[in-house]
Structure 1
Amino acid sequence: MTLLGAFTSAVLPIVAIAAVGYLIGTATDVDVEPLNTVALTFFLPALVFHGVATTDLSGDAVVSLVGAVLAYALVVMAIAYAAGRALGLPDSLLSGAVLASAFPNSGFVGIPLSAFVFGDLGETTATLFLTTQSVLLYTLGVYVVSASHDSTAGAASALREVFRLPLVYAVAAAALLRFLGWVPPVDGTFMTTVDSVGSASIPLMLTVVGIRLADVELGHLRRAVFPSTLKLLVAPLVGVAIALVVGFADPAVANVFVLECATPAAVTPLAIVIAYSDAGDEFDTADYMSTVIFVTTVLSVFVLTGLVAAIQAGWLF
């Protein structure tokens, strides 16, 4: 598979849809938050439920994937923290750099990309990656922000956010139905409807990404080099190392895991910084993280194209 082939088959559809969202964001005053809310509370949970309920992944594969996601996040966070300290980043920006480096956009970019490259298996693996990452983000991620800003936001408040995530309940419901053997027929009305709703989440999520990028004000470009380098170059290598250590039984799952690790910085940590840091600090950090999100999203086109080409050529797993 050539770089051009990898780009046109897997990356170009994502770029094209996100670009339409970007044009909509620049040409209109559309409010992206309602779209984001609908995607996170309705379309994405449907995608997660259908994927988990119908997946061929074994229980051992799911456990290995969850462990790998946790290990990846912790290792990258440690690297980012140590490197940020060595570079003398202020505490407020350091927390932003840590979160931007360690939490990839495994949902709004990773799920569509994995679906284009690996089909249903990639889509399901990506949704499980996202679910695990979301739980970690709303626990350890909130703690990192609160500690760096001396925030009074408590751990209990952060933990409650986990139980407000619809996708967590979607995974739990699908897993319970599988355990009890009550999964509805795939070709029945219920599962067909859920599949239709979930499939609509992919273009919707990419459109939301594009609209969000249109609102970014580029500041801190020089300081954004550090977390952007970690996210786009170091994080994928960490993902490869962890996949080797975990030893996934299915090479496709290993490749999807690495692909998810290589996606750009996620948007959700930005919302956490705004919500859980003290007034007066969060705006500078938010501007910093917005710049990192924009830079990594644009440059990830090249990184992901090369990685998809390598995967399809059989160079990884």
Structure 2
Amino acid sequence: MTIILAITFPIYATIGLGYFIVYRGWFSAVEMRSFGRYVMNIALPALIFNAVASRKFSEVFHPDYMLAFGLGGLATIAMAYLFFTLRGVDPQRRALGVMGSTCPNSGFIGFPIMLLLFPDLASSILTLNMLIETLLLVPICLVLMELSGNDTKQPVHRQFAGVLFNLVRMPLMIGMALGLLVSLIGISLPAPFSQFITMLAASAGALSLVVIGGSLVGLPLHGNRSLAAQVAATKLILHPTMVILAIVSLTAFGFIQLSPDMRSAVILSAAMPMFGSYTVFAQKLNLQGAASLAMLGATTGAFVTLSLFLLWLT
């Protein structure tokens, strides 16, 4: 258990530090949002670019990992949709629940944890996760949100294409594409430029956790507490369970063969709380209160669930 705490305590201590410095007024919520934009638009893109560009293509992209993570995510979407339908919630809250259950915080929380657990694989794991989330899971969830409004005349495939087009223009995806280009061409980056990118990438880990903690201060903690608890529970329990089932099924039929480290990484990636943009997307449905409660519950509850998964996997 001491080994587990050596992993989870630094992560949550840094999140707590972020909460404390904003709560005390040393930094404002506006400044935290600026830090968050720096991480999302500069530090993480630099990290992903560096991860892809500095390795051979075959060393970065693991189809087996992507298949397990993608299939587990799709199964989570289906099961969460069924669960919230059976609970009798309206389409908008159901869409909110599906997104909260499916989209993990791979960048701000997942990457620092992977950095402690698998330092040599962390950047590759982040790249794989962001690829599946950006091209598959998040677009499906956003389309469900759009459809829940019942005021759109666009076909589903056009909505999906529009969402996908907006997502691939993100700096994260641009960094990934440029890194892939460098990797495929096989060129070596000049040492000064490589050092510059490495320095930017190194700033992502701790600052991302501080941003997560600071963003929890002042969340609108009013809303459907029952729905929030259900969303938090499905994210922390249902999503990793579906990924585990995907791994077991795909391995049994001979479709994939994951190393122990990659198997642990994909399960832990699914066990992360929902991503930070969750409350932003919830504003479109006027459900930011329930989303904030769910994110707060999942972020704090993940200390327990992640510790249990780590205890089991290690």
Decide which of 286, 296, 306 is 1:304's aligned counterpart. Answer: 306
Provide closer, same or farther for how the CA distance between residues 98 and 138 of structure 1 changes in structure 2, counting only shifts above 3 A. closer
TM-score, length-normalised on structure 2?
Answer: 0.88
Aligned-residue CA RMSD in angstroms? 2.1
The secondary structure found in structure 2 opposite 1:41 is helix
Match of 1:315 in 2: none
> Match for residue 179 of structure 1?
184
| Unpaired stretches in structure 1, ≥5 consecutive residues | 313-317
Counterpart position of 1:43: 43
CA contact (8 A) 2:127 2:176 kept: no
- Taking only the aligned residue pairs, the percentage that are identical comes to 22
Report the TM-score when normalising by structure 1: 0.88
- After superposition, where does 1:23-62 map in structure 2 within 5 Å? 23-28=20-25, 29-31=28-30, 32-55=32-55, 58=58, 61-62=61-62
Return the offset for 1:176. Answer: 1.3
Asked whether the equivalents of residues 80 and 97 of structure 2 are also in contact (C-alpha less than 8 Å), the reply is yes
Please give the alpha-carbon distance, in whole angstroms, between the structure 1 residues aligned to 2:92 and 2:74: 19
Matches within 5 A, 1:230-309: 230-244=234-248, 245=250, 247-274=256-283, 277=284, 282-283=285-286, 285-309=287-311
Distance change in 2, residues 1:55/1:181 (3 Å): closer
Describe how 1:109-124 pairs up with structure 2 within 5 A: 109-124=109-124
Residue 101 of structure 1 is matched in structure 2 by: 101
Mapped contact 1:6–1:308 kept (Cα < 8 A): yes
Deviation of 1:4 (Å) = 2.8
Work out the CA distance in 2 between the residues paired with 1:170 and 1:91: 35
The amino acid that maps onto 1:218 is L
Q: Is contact 2:74–2:137 with CA below 8 Å preserved after alignment?
A: no
In the alignment, what sits opposite 2:8?
A: 11
**Contact 2:72–2:244, Cα closer than 8 Å, also in 1:** no
- Structure 1 runs of 4+ off > 6 angstroms? none
Contact 1:49 1:171 in 2 (8 A): yes
* Counterpart code for 2:16: A
Query: Is 1:203 matched with 2:217?
Result: no
Residues in 2 aligned to 1:53 and 1:207: alpha-carbon distance in whole angstroms: 28
Q: Which amino acid aligns with 2:213?
A: G
1:310 Cα offset (Å) = 2.2
One-letter identity of the residue aligned with 1:257: V
Q: 1:111–1:127: 8 Å Cα contact kept in structure 2?
A: no
Q: Is the 8 A contact 1:20 1:207 kept in 2?
A: yes
Partner AA of 1:175 in structure 2 = L
1:39: how far off?
A: 1.1
- Matched residue type, 1:208: V
Q: CA separation of 1:118/1:60 partners in 2, compared to 1, >3 Å: closer, same or farther? A: closer
Q: Cα 1:56–1:177, aligned 2, differ >3 Å: closer, same or farther?
A: closer
Contact 2:29 2:215 in 1 (8 A): no
For residues 16 and 225 of structure 2, the distance between their equivalents in structure 1, rounded to whole angstroms, comes to: 22
- State the Cα distance separating 1:233 from its structure 2 match: 1.5
CA contact (8 A) 1:52 1:171 kept: yes
One-letter identity of the residue aligned with 2:193: F
* Contact 1:25–1:215 (8 Å) recurs in 2: no
Aligned length: 300
- Distance (Å, rounded) in 2 between the aligned partners of 1:60 and 1:310: 26
Report how far residue 77 of structure 1 moved.
0.8
1:297 and 1:60 mapped to 2: Cα distance?
29
Question: Is the 2:48–2:126 Cα contact (8 Å) retained in structure 1?
Answer: no
Letter in 2 for 1:160: F
Deviates more, 1:260-269 or 1:159-168: 159-168
Q: Which amino acid aligns with 2:278?
A: P
How has the CA–CA distance of structure 1 residues 46 and 34 changed in structure 2, closer, same or farther, with 3 Å as cutoff? same
For 2:232, the equivalent position in structure 1 comes to: 228
Note the C-alpha offset of 1:75.
0.7
Match of 2:163 in 1: 158
Aligned with 2:18 (options 8, 14, 21): 21
Deviation at 1:24, TM superposition (A): 2.0
Q: Cα offset for 1:59? A: 6.2
Q: 2:196 matched to which residue of 1?
A: 193
CA contact (8 A) 2:95 2:144 kept: yes
